């Protein structure tokens, strides 16, 4: 049976009445009817229609399903903005050490000195990499880091009696930026990009006033371009009494090269699951540690890890803090992986990570631009955005068609239709962990696909168990209940 066929069957389809994975021995105590234990009204009329299977059926079903996933371990995964780099397995082993894995969040500080030291040192490393001294490891994802930092900013302005209600985001920003601004209670206002894909300074100046709390910038931005105006932007925003937030999703491009704190940022988040090789993509746990400048540090979430002499402890005594944003201490397992990654590379190694990420992206860009336009910039940082706009006009083939067809050739699709400022956008980020050979085969494949017939491409992918699912239906009309057909 083919893998695709196996995967198209539900456990319910494989079910056979009476088949069992486990046989319990006969009870050696008298049986009590359920009716004697629970009121009738609490009892179902019939048992739930659960599938009945032997253990190997279940194991094979889930193992086969797992092989249908694309992952960094199985495929090249050039998903722009998301930095799907290879995750060293060593980090998994370290995060699974008993002293990391079996710690209880309510354990007294004195019994977890090693773990606290690790987290304390990670705070210091992130402060060093960002150039911003105040660190909270608590937020559970990048978007959560954005929200937390904006709450910190709100507390800072409240403390000063400064009423500011607006957060500015560029039109190329990730959707989480304006969403976080709205969730933190601000009005999100968009600033236009100019013809080069950078912040339009005239539009920024027009929208900057004493009501602006924060300007959120992604640098390098989502087009893979470093905005050289960032110092000037920070000067303007600070001059108007506002703060600069740096969306750190693209830190992979600048690790050890430049520091957000040095180019004017007052606060930022890291995505350890992107930059520091935490596994991600399946919706599993990430983390979104934030770093802030001195004047914002008192407002950071509680607790932070502190050190008194030789003793590490969780510091809850922080009167200006916005409080907790996550239960216990955040997603510590992800933070352990980030720590292991940073320690493995060291400062020189991290700089090389950034250099190779930028080199790989420029190499791939120089190949792709021969057959797909790359509208912005003469060179890129860690990623670039190609446009299938011309192809769409001439043949009707869209960026989505190319992306879907790549799956047939064993490549995960790049990010498509983001940023919104580029028509038929394909945002390609190879990362530093890919070889020249992989990049060559990918570029050749993408080139070949652009010459294929529109009919074939509109129907792609052809080799996957399902081809084109409705991409919003599962979210908008979830069917949570299985019914026998
Ligand atoms: C991934 C990403 C985010 C959000 O990070 P999550 O960890 O997914 O919440 C924000 N901004 C940019 C530019 C991103 O790529």
Nearest atom of ligand 1 to the alpha carbon of 83: 15
Ligand 1 probe mutation, 78, 80, 81, 281, most atoms within 8 A of CB: 81
- Looking at ligand 1, which residue's alpha carbon is closest to its atom 7? 142
CATH number at residue 469: 3.90.1150.10
In a domain, 367, yes or no: yes
Nearest atom of ligand 1 to the alpha carbon of 141: 7
CA distances, 221 to each of 75, 225, 390 (Å)? 26, 5, 24
pLDDT at 272 over 80: yes
User: Which of these three, 345, 370, 397, is where a domain ends?
Assistant: 345
User: Which of these three, 345, 366, 382, is where a domain ends?
Assistant: 345
The pLDDT tens digits of the residues spanning 245-266 come to 999 999 999 999 999 999 999 9
- pLDDT at position 280 is 85
In a domain, 77, yes or no: no
Neighbours of 448 (CB within 10 A): 12
Tell me if the pTM is above 0.75.
yes
Based on the fold, state whether residues 139 and 202 are members of the same structural domain.
Answer: yes
Place of tokens 């001059």: 239
Query: Among 403, 388, 389, which Cα is nearest to 458's?
Result: 403
Task: Say how many Å lie between the CA of residue 393 and the centre of ligand 1.
Answer: 31
In a domain, 34, yes or no: no
Based on the fold, state whether residues 319 and 365 are members of the same structural domain.
Answer: no
Task: Say how many Å lie between the CA of residue 96 and the centre of ligand 1.
Answer: 26
- pLDDT at position 482 is 64
Q: Are 159 and 320 in contact (CB under 8 A)?
A: yes
Number of domains in the chain: 3
Task: Say how many Å lie between the CA of residue 26 and the centre of ligand 1.
Answer: 54
Based on the fold, state whether residues 271 and 363 are members of the same structural domain.
Answer: no
In a domain, 444, yes or no: yes
Based on the fold, state whether residues 422 and 384 are members of the same structural domain.
Answer: yes
In a domain, 368, yes or no: yes
- pLDDT at position 481 is 74
Based on the fold, state whether residues 199 and 297 are members of the same structural domain.
Answer: yes
Among the listed ranges 29-33, 153-157, 409-413, which one has the minimum average pLDDT value? Answer: 29-33
3-state helix, strand, coil in the chain (%, to 5): 40, 10, 45
User: Which of these three, 289, 311, 345, is where a domain ends?
Assistant: 345
Task: Say how many Å lie between the CA of residue 406 and the centre of ligand 1.
Answer: 24
Task: Say how many Å lie between the CA of residue 319 and the centre of ligand 1.
Answer: 30
- Looking at ligand 1, which residue's alpha carbon is closest to its atom 15? 81
Token couple for 75? 């495929």
- Looking at ligand 1, which residue's alpha carbon is closest to its atom 8? 142
Ligand 1 probe mutation, 150, 174, 227, most atoms within 8 A of CB: 174
In a domain, 37, yes or no: no
Task: Say how many Å lie between the CA of residue 168 and the centre of ligand 1.
Answer: 17
Ligand 1 probe mutation, 249, 278, 382, most atoms within 8 A of CB: 249
The pLDDT tens digits of the residues spanning 357-385 come to 999 999 999 999 999 999 998 999 999 99
Based on the fold, state whether residues 207 and 233 are members of the same structural domain.
Answer: yes
Task: Say how many Å lie between the CA of residue 288 and the centre of ligand 1.
Answer: 9
Among the listed ranges 26-40, 242-256, 272-286, 355-369, which one has the minimum average pLDDT value? Answer: 272-286
The pLDDT tens digits of the residues spanning 77-108 come to 999 999 999 999 999 999 999 999 999 989 99
Task: Say how many Å lie between the CA of residue 76 and the centre of ligand 1.
Answer: 20
CATH number at residue 219: 3.40.640.10
Q: Are 214 and 168 in contact (CB under 8 A)?
A: yes
Based on the fold, state whether residues 363 and 340 are members of the same structural domain.
Answer: no
pLDDT band at 1 (very low <50, low <70, confident <90, very high): very low
- Pairing, β 304-308 against β 311-315: antiparallel
Task: Say how many Å lie between the CA of residue 142 and the centre of ligand 1.
Answer: 5
- pLDDT at position 2 is 54
Nearest atom of ligand 1 to the alpha carbon of 273: 7
Based on the fold, state whether residues 319 and 359 are members of the same structural domain.
Answer: no
Task: Say how many Å lie between the CA of residue 217 and the centre of ligand 1.
Answer: 13
3-state secondary structure of 180: helix
Based on the fold, state whether residues 154 and 183 are members of the same structural domain.
Answer: yes
- pLDDT at position 5 is 57
As a whole-number percent, the residues of the chain with pLDDT over 90 amount to: 86
- Pairing, β 243-247 against β 212-218: parallel
Q: Furthest-apart CA pair in the chain: how many Å?
A: 83
Give the mean pLDDT of 131-147.
Answer: 97
- pLDDT at position 319 is 97
Give the mean pLDDT of 141-156.
Answer: 98
Residue list, ligand 1 pocket, CB within 6 Å: 81-82, 141-143, 174, 176, 218, 222, 247, 249, 271, 286, 288
- Looking at ligand 1, which residue's alpha carbon is closest to its atom 14? 249
Based on the fold, state whether residues 211 and 259 are members of the same structural domain.
Answer: yes
Based on the fold, state whether residues 166 and 287 are members of the same structural domain.
Answer: yes
In a domain, 136, yes or no: yes
Which residue segment(s) compose the domain that 10 sits in?
Answer: 1-22+49-61
Please count the residues of the chain: 485
Neighbours of 144 (CB within 10 A): 23
**Cis amide prior to 419 (ω within 30 degrees):** yes
- pLDDT at position 484 is 59
Among the listed ranges 40-49, 127-136, 376-385, 472-481, which one has the minimum average pLDDT value? Answer: 472-481
Ligand 1 probe mutation, 80, 247, 283, 382, most atoms within 8 A of CB: 247
Q: What is the mean pLDDT of the chain?
A: 94
In a domain, 75, yes or no: no
Based on the fold, state whether residues 164 and 312 are members of the same structural domain.
Answer: yes
């Amino acid at each position: 049976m083919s893998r695709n066929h196996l995967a198209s069957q539900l456990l319910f389809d494989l079910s056979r009445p009476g088949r069992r994975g486990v046989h319990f021995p006969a009870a050696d105590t008298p049986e009590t009817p359920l009716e004697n234990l629970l009121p009738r009204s609490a009892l179902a009329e019939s048992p739930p229609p659960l599938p009945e299977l032997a253990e190997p059926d279940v194991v094979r079903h889930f193992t086969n399903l797992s092989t249908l996933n694309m992952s960094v371990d199985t495929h090249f995964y050039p998903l722009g903005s998301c930095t799907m780099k290879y995750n060293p397995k060593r980090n998994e082993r370290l995060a699974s050490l008993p002293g990391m894995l079996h710690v209880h969040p309510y354990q007294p500080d004195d019994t977890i000195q090693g773990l606290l030291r690790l987290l304390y040192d990670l705070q210091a490393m992130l402060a060093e990499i960002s150039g911003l001294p105040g660190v909270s490891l608590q937020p559970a994802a990048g978007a959560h880091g954005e929200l937390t930092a904006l709450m910190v900013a709100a507390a800072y302005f409240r403390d000063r009696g400064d009423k500011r209600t607006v957060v500015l985001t560029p039109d190329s920003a990730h959707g989480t930026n304006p969403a976080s601004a709205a969730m933190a209670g601000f009005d999100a206002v968009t600033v236009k990009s100019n013809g080069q894909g950078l912040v339009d300074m005239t539009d920024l100046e027009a929208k900057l006033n004493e009501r602006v709390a924060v300007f959120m910038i992604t640098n390098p931005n989502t087009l893979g371009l470093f905005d050289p105006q960032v110092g000037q932007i920070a000067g303007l925003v600070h001059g108007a009494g506002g703060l600069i937030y740096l969306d750190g999703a693209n830190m992979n491009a600048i690790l050890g090269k430049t520091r957000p704190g040095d180019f004017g940022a007052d606060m930022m988040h890291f995505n350890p699951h992107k930059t520091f090789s935490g596994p991600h993509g399946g919706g599993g746990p990430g983390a979104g540690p934030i770093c802030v400048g001195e004047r914002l540090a008192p407002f950071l979430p509680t607790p932070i890890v502190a050190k008194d002499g030789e003793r590490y402890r969780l510091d809850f005594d922080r009167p200006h803090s916005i409080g907790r944003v996550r239960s216990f201490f955040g997603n510590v397992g992800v933070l352990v992986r980030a720590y292991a990654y940073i320690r493995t590379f060291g400062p020189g190694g991290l700089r090389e990570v950034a250099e190779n990420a930028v080199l790989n992206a420029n190499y791939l860009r120089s190949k792709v631009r021969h057959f797909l336009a790359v509208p912005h910039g003469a060179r890129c940082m860690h990623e670039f955005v190609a446009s299938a706009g011309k192809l769409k006009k001439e043949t009707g083939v869209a960026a989505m068609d190319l992306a879907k067809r790549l799956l047939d050739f064993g490549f995960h699709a790049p990010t498509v239709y983001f940023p919104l400022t580029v028509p038929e956008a394909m945002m390609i980020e190879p990362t530093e962990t890919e070889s020249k050979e992989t990049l060559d085969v990918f570029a050749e494949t993408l080139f070949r696909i652009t010459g294929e017939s529109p009919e074939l491409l509109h129907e792609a992918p052809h080799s996957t168990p399902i081809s084109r699912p409705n991409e919003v239906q599962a979210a908008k009309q979830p069917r949570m209940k299985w019914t026998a057909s």
